[in-house]
């Protein structure tokens, strides 16, 4: 492939790519199946009409129950967390607000954050991280000039969980300044150690999804939650024109999944933890500098030549990894370990072969 083609490589070059013999540490996609309850919803489904734009009332009732002081009116069901974030940013961009039309986010960041901010007409501003976690001093010095901040703990791509003290302080600073916090909590059920803390407050917009907890990526069911009734109303108004209701069948599947026993999530978590232990030890044994993953299913080793690493691993060893540069971290690469143990081991062997120059 020419340099020009390599320069055009992006995560979307790999999303959905499946091929003979390829081991993909690329897309953040669970390989474990959804709870069987989700598919049981399919057999009896016969409705085909528009649903409420805001989402299925029973599903919003279920989700509202997970948040303080909430009713179904605080929840909007969306086409994945992606649409929730897009709509929230577009609505916030159209408002008068404190600060410039800027959005603060940690770097490394999930690759969509700067893009959706720019698409909404907002400028991304980046907070320094130390060992994959937010530098609170840098955050404090930059936040006052911003309209909103995005928090993502556990984090894609770093796999790290923010300190509770940091999250409480972010909550305090933003509440005082009236700055929106978009808290992307799609990995909140995938934590291996440390405490987490879910940010709350009148200007908080929590973004979540059934993709990771319930392995339902392809069905695109996410949601946002907020105590700000004007923001919820504006999001619903915008969605009325930009996509209408979220797929009604996927909402039924999500409702069925949400009623699966808690043991489903706990069993999955044990599988993820074993994979985390394996890949962390494997990459460390290869002599790579990595942050110990605490949540989600990503790990970001530092490598000597990230472009060569990603490109030659793909071409010569059939292993997909993602460039750290796509996440604002040009000295690293990102591996998703959403793979069974055998594939992780085989992938680690191929990485060893690449590093040994074989």
- Position 282 contacts a copy of itself (CB under 8 A): no
Q: How far apart are the C-alpha atoms of 46 and 298, rounded to whole Å?
A: 39
- Subset of 210-239 contacting a copy of itself (CB under 8 A): 215-220, 236-238
Cα–Cα distance for residue pair 284/291, rounded to 1 Å: 10
DSSP for 257-322, please give it. Answer: HHTS-HHHHHHHHHHHHHHHHHHHHHHHHTT-B-PPP-BTTEE--B-S-HHHHHHHHHHHH-EE-E
Give the C-alpha separation, 152 to 210, whole Å: 16
DSSP for residue 35: P
119 binds a copy of itself (CB under 8 A): yes
Q: Which one among 59, 60, 77, 79 touches a copy of itself, defined by CB under 8 A?
A: 79
Q: Rule CB under 8 A: is residue 246 a binding residue for a copy of itself?
A: yes
Stretch that binds a copy of itself, among 82-90, 165-173, 179-187, 319-327 (CB under 8 A): 82-90
Residue 148, SS3 per DSSP: strand
* CA distance to 15, 27, 148, 278, 294, per residue, from 341 (Å): 21, 17, 40, 8, 18
Q: Is residue 258 a contact point for a copy of itself (CB under 8 A)?
A: no
**One of 20, 49, 68, 96 touching a copy of itself (CB under 8 A):** 49
Determine the interface stretch with a copy of itself among 28-36, 122-130, 265-273, 278-286 (rule: CB under 8 A). 28-36
Instruction: Report the side by side order of strands in the sheet with 322-323.
Output: 298-299, 333-336, 322-323
Among residues 9, 23, 25, 53, the one that binds a copy of itself under rule CB under 8 A = 53
Decide: 89 and 148 in contact? Cβ < 8 Å: yes
User: Shortest approach of a copy of itself to residue 87 CB, angstroms?
Assistant: 9
Q: Which stretch binds a copy of itself (CB under 8 A): 110-118, 282-290, 297-305, 323-331?
A: 110-118
Q: Interface with a copy of itself by CB under 8 A: which residues?
A: 10-12, 15-16, 27, 29, 31, 33-34, 38-39, 42-43, 45-53, 79-80, 82-83, 86, 90, 111-112, 115-116, 119, 121, 215-220, 236-238, 240-250
């Amino acid at each position: 492939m020419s340099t020009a083609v390599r320069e055009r490589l992006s995560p979307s070059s790999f999303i959905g790519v499946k091929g003979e013999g390829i081991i993909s540490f690329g897309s953040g996609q669970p390989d474990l199946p959804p709870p069987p309850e989700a598919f049981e919803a399919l057999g009896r489904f016969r409705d085909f009409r528009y649903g409420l734009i805001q989402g299925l009332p029973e599903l919003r009732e279920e989700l509202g129950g997970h948040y303080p002081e909430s009713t179904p009116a605080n929840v909007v069901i969306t086409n994945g967390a992606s649409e929730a974030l897009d709509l929230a940013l577009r609505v916030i961009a159209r408002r008068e607000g404190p600060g410039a039309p800027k959005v603060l986010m940690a770097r490394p960041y999930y690759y969509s954050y700067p893009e959706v901010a720019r698409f909404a007409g907002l400028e991304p501003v980046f907070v320094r991280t130390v060992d994959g976690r937010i530098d609170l001093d840098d955050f404090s010095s930059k936040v006052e000039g911003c309209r909103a901040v995005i928090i993502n703990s556990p984090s894609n791509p770093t796999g790290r969980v923010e300190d509770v003290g940091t999250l409480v302080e972010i909550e305090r600073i933003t509440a005082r300044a009236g700055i929106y916090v978009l808290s992307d909590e799609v990995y909140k059920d995938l934590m291996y150690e440390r405490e987490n803390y879910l940010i709350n407050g009148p200007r908080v917009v929590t973004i979540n999804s059934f993709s990771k907890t319930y392995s339902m990526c392809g069905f695109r069911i996410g949601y946002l939650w907020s105590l700000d009734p004007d923001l919820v109303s504006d999001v619903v108004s915008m969605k009325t024109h930009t996509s209408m209701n979220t797929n009604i069948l996927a909402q039924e599947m999500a409702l069925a999944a949400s009623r699966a026993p808690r043991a489903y999530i706990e069993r999955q978590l044990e599988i993820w933890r074993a994979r985390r232990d394996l890949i962390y030890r494997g990459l460390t044994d290869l002599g790579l500098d990595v942050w110990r993953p605490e949540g989600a299913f990503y790990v970001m080793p530092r490598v000597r030549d990230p472009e060569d690493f990603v490109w030659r691993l793909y071409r010569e060893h059939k292993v997909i990894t993602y460039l750290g540069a796509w996440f604002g971290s040009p000295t690293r690469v990102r591996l998703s370990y959403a793979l069974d143990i055998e594939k992780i081991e085989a992938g680690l062997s191929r990485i060893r072969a690449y590093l040994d120059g074989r």
